[in-house]
Amino acid sequence: MSTLPFSASGVHSKSVSHYISNSSFLDFDRGRRNSKLFFIRTPCFNHSRRRRRRNLSVKNVASDHKQQVKEPNTEEASVDTFVPDSATIASSIKYHSEFTTSFSPEHFQLPKAFYATAESVRDMLIINWNATNSYYEKMNVKQAYYLSMEYLQGRALLNAIGNLELSGVYAEALKKLGHNLEDVAGQEPDAALGNGGLGRLASCFLDSLATLNYPAWGYGLRYKYGLFKQLITKEGQEEVAESWLEMGSPWEIARNDVSYPVKFYGKVVSGTDGCKKWVGGEDIMAAAYDVPIPGYKTKTTLNLRLWSTKVSPQEFDLHAYNAGDHAKAYAAIKNAEKICYILYPGDETVEGKTLRLKQQYTLCSASLQDIIARYERRSEEPVNWENFPEKVAVQMNDTHPTLCIPELIRILMDVKGLSWKEAWNITQRTVAYTNHTVLPEALEKWSLELMQDLLPRHVEIIRTIDEELLHTIVTEYAMEDVDLLQQKLKQMRILDNIELPESVAKLLVKSEENSAAHPTEEVDISGEESKDAVEEDQSEEQEVEEKNEVTFEPDPTLPKMVQMANLCVAGGHAVNGVAEIHSEIVKNEVFNDFYQLWPHKFQNKTNGVTPRRWIRFCNPDLSKIITKWTGTEDWIINTEILSTLQKVNCYIQVLYRTNVHDQQFADNEDLHSEWREAKRRNKIKVASFLKEKTRYVVSPDAMFDVQVKRIHEYKRQLMNILGIVYRYKKMKEMSPEERKESFVPRVCIFGGKAFATYVQAKRIVKFITDVGVTVNHDPDIGDLLKVVFVPDYNVSVAEVLIPGSELSQHISTAGMEASGTSNMKFAMNGCIVIGTLDGANVEIREEVGEENFFLFGARAHEIAGLRKERAEGKFVPDPRFEEVKEFVRSGVFGPYNYNELMGSLEGNEGYGRADYFLVGKDFPSYIECQEKVDEAYRDQKRWTKMSILNTAGSYKFSSDRTIHEYARDIWMIEPLVLP
């Protein structure tokens, strides 16, 4: 372990005063100060290529020599203003190791080195960060505000210095201080602010927004303990709290002057002026923590503002404390703080549901108050609220931030004094909604009773929105088809199973009366026959009337609910799916009634991932090859250049003086050799990582087959492990020679968290680990098959696994995965996908070529029919599927009883049975497809070409492209490059 004694650091406490007296911080939230930048805290950076500047004389505490530190002019500074060398950076790190980090001064060990290095980087980020926000204030541009309950950022150090293009000098500086950059970066914990693709997408979007110079901010919650840290024991998955903030985060800045009140409970009263006021109840404060988000090769540095919850010190009951009732004394403090303890607290209880709703409202309320305050600060007096949507775009990342719709209306009406019509119009023009799921349980519904208790004013507003929507529906469909109208009201209402508003009920009665009125014909009743005919006609009319009599009364046996997704669609101006197939399902199934009413609202925005983190920084070996063979580094921002790997290789003709005009990059033997070597180096890193994390030793000569994502039945990790069990069983039935002849060696890697209360998902984790224990210790099998479950899967783990993977499994039941983003990351890194036609798999297959994608399974349009067939008892399982289930039940994988797990795949109906996710249906085509995988892998030339073409075809899946589309089609914002 390297040490740096205090006396050797060259840092003297007497010099601190020079830093304090000569430092200044620009508060861009107030925005009233001089926009010139102040070089903060560390005066040790050399500046070159300066434009207009002025001198700031400071004492260099690292060298104890005076030097001139230049302060750049915000308006004219360029992105390359600061070009520090390694000595300058080493000096900065030494300064922070002494005066900033919370470590003992005697030694300079890895943890201390990380925090000092991160603080050094943050100094540079803050300069660009302040310049960015000052410029936005000055230009008064329209900004996009991204609201998300999750941000799965991963480690920030290597990403930040990579975006600043300082990786080399930081590596050199740390080497001078006795440390390796990768070892120092490895000390950083992943920020525990997310769980899966939803959060990772949000982080990729922020990276792209900054890189492309779009004016935007992100808003989220600062979870103290994250989701949970996953431990894998002999019992399967166990959860403990994450400790990512135990040592503090060097990236965040507490904005002690930025906080907003958030209210719960209470009641609504009407003032003498007729305006509504929400009074009483429970009051907390949301306090801001800011995290800078740097763009790549640009000065633009955006902001992620995270909210933490607290109460004022006056809420501490000193009298109760002194009386010995300590729990009562700090009850209000704990009640406020717990809102931001855990991401997605269990909601099996009323308390859990209440806490989740508090989280969502805290995010919405604090963020909107902040957005409105920023708008007012930039506006002239009096504030023109009609112009609000011309300066503000709010994007709701899934349904979690839905409450921003009634909250924006509440603030505009109750605080700013606007009318309902004005507030509703402004809100609809401001807010947009991204749908991420077709799963019914993920389309959030909240108990009306709970929401009425917690947010009474918002329920009033939601009732008004619901009434507006009902009037629109009734006007559109009238009473011509009462059954159709009833269906539309049922599907489209925001308030489910709740009585109709009086205005709508009257409208329906009036429509019924109008539809019942019709001219009567003259009838001759002089004869008996005519009398009978009249009676018959009257009887038929009565029968028709009885048939058309429709009741819109609520069902007292069912709960009254608020349908948040419907509120999102009604309250916003745009709704987008996140893959082509998903957007079609959204239009044709999930929100078909809304689509028929408002087709102009619906769009597709296929997800994307940032090529900086997911190729350039996590896979430097592959990045160098791509740069060499495309002849440019521009692909890091313009991924369309990757597609040249599919085209005729003109560059090869020059480089190798060849006249082969029809040769593609993907066919070149030199490229193949370099490509395979890079993949092998990455596989060696993966093997080393697996040994460190799981103690399993795997061979880098085997195929690395990976499925890493949230554990869920629809993602079908169960089908994957059953396929492995089938493979293992067949191996055991063969001689050693037959095994080697029949099977390609594989290392099957799993990773992902099962939600703490999701029993079936946790059974799947247990099953995978049990199979691994058995297979990995079987001497008959050896290196032919290994099964490894990587604990606590997160972004940092993905950055190791993805570059070294060769086959990636995206095998969800067709039509159930909205998009997926990990499939894009794998394809970018030359990994070949086996999967169904689901989510972004459809588009990936189109781009990389059908022959470079392993396809199996039922199609999305077949799923409903297959489930119906199962319910009717017509499904005949494949003998191989029955064989593998019996093998599991035989106890070969230990004493754990897997009857419940296997039973979920059996029967024709019932909750938790009947194989709802069609594992049995797709299993035969899945194992047959795996045989094709083995066949392709044996031909390494073919496999390498497939790998190259996957990277080439992934150009479409950059989050840069996605952000351009959001900016153009939904937010209506333009890039703003700092001068």
With CA atoms as reference, report the closest residue to 189 among 242, 119, 151. 242
Residue 514's Cβ-count burial label (10 Å; 0-12, 13-18, 19+) is exposed
Query: Residues 75-83: what's their mean pLDDT?
Result: 51
Distances (CA, A) of 103 to 8, 13, 95, 96, 474: 16, 16, 13, 11, 67
DSSP letter at 614?
I
Residues 149, 401 contacting (CB under 8 angstroms)? yes
pLDDT classification of 101: cutoffs 50, 70, 90? confident
Residue 352's closest CA among 436, 446, 493?
Answer: 446
* Predicted local distance difference test score (pLDDT) of residue 840: 96
The answer, yes or no, to whether residue 300 has pLDDT greater than 90, is yes
Catalytic residue among 96, 391, 825, 885: 825
Question: In this predicted structure, what is the pLDDT of residue 485?
Answer: 85
| For residues 634-655, average pLDDT | 75
Q: Do the beta carbons of residue 204 and residue 162 sit within 8 Å?
A: no
Pairing of strands 746-751, 785-790: parallel
Choice among 709, 763, 921, 945 that is catalytic: 709
How confident is the model at residue 17, as a pLDDT?
Answer: 34
Q: pLDDT value at position 185?
A: 97
Range in 73-77, 132-136, 344-348, 736-740 the model is least confident about: 73-77
Whether 545 has a pLDDT exceeding 90, the answer reads no
- Average pLDDT of the residues in 128-137: 96
All domains in the chain, ordered by first residue: 86-441 (3.40.50.2000), 697-942 (3.40.50.2000)
Residue that wins the pLDDT comparison between 564 and 661: 564
Task: Please identify which of the residues 400, 710, 739, 921 carries the catalytic annotation.
Answer: 710
Q: Give the tokens for residue 609.
A: 């991932």
- The pLDDT tens digits of the residues spanning 875-889 come to 999 999 999 999 999
Tell me if 495 sits within 8 A of 466, measured CB to CB.
yes
For 526, other C-beta atoms within 10 Å of its C-beta total 8
Across the range 692-703, mean pLDDT stands at 97
Rounded percentage of the chain residues whose pLDDT exceeds 70: 85
Of 142, 229, 715, 762, which residue is the catalytic one? 715
For 914, the token pair is 């009947």
Q: How confident is the model at residue 11 (pLDDT cuts 50, 70, 90)?
A: very low
Percent of the chain with pLDDT over 90: 78
Task: Share the mean pLDDT of the chain.
Answer: 88
**Does residue 361 surpass a pLDDT of 90?**
yes
63-82 mean pLDDT: 41
Give the pLDDT score at 912. Answer: 87
Measured in residues, the chain has a length of 979
Overall average pLDDT of the 192-214 stretch: 97
Task: Tell me the pLDDT band of 18, cut-offs 50, 70 and 90.
Answer: very low
Q: Compute the Cα dihedral for 656, 660, 666, 672 and give only its sign.
A: negative
Of 72-86, 171-185, 396-410, least confident by mean pLDDT is 72-86
pLDDT band, residue 799 (cuts 50/70/90): very high
82: pLDDT confidence band, cut at 50, 70 and 90? low
Residue 118 has pLDDT above 90, yes or no: yes
CA atoms of 267 and 928, how far apart (whole Å): 63
Backbone angles phi, psi at 9, to 5 degrees: -75, -20
Work out the pLDDT band at 328, boundaries 50, 70, 90: very high
pLDDT at 865 over 90: yes
825 is catalytic: yes
Query: If we measure between CA atoms, which residue out of 582, 568, 877 comes closest to residue 722?
Result: 877
| Cα–Cα distance for residue pair 303/291, rounded to 1 Å | 6
**904-933 pLDDT per residue, tens:** 999 998 888 999 999 999 999 999 999 999
Asked whether residue 42 carries a pLDDT value surpassing 70, the answer given is no
Q: How large is the average pLDDT for residues 612-634?
A: 96
Model pLDDT, residue 766: 98
Three-state SS for 365? helix
Residue with tokens 């009473």: 479
Give the H or E element holding residue 650: helix 650-656
Question: Helix, strand, or coil here: 809?
Answer: strand
Q: Which of 436, 679, 712, 867 is catalytic?
A: 436
Q: How far apart are CA 537 and CA 516, in angstroms?
A: 15
What are the contacts of 256-259 at 24+ separation with CB within 8 A? Answer: 256/287, 257/27, 257/29, 258/29, 258/287, 258/288, 258/370, 259/285, 259/286, 259/287, 259/288
Based on the residue annotation, tell me whether 709 is a catalytic residue of this protein.
yes
**Does residue 473 surpass a pLDDT of 70?**
yes
Q: What is the pLDDT of residue 564?
A: 97
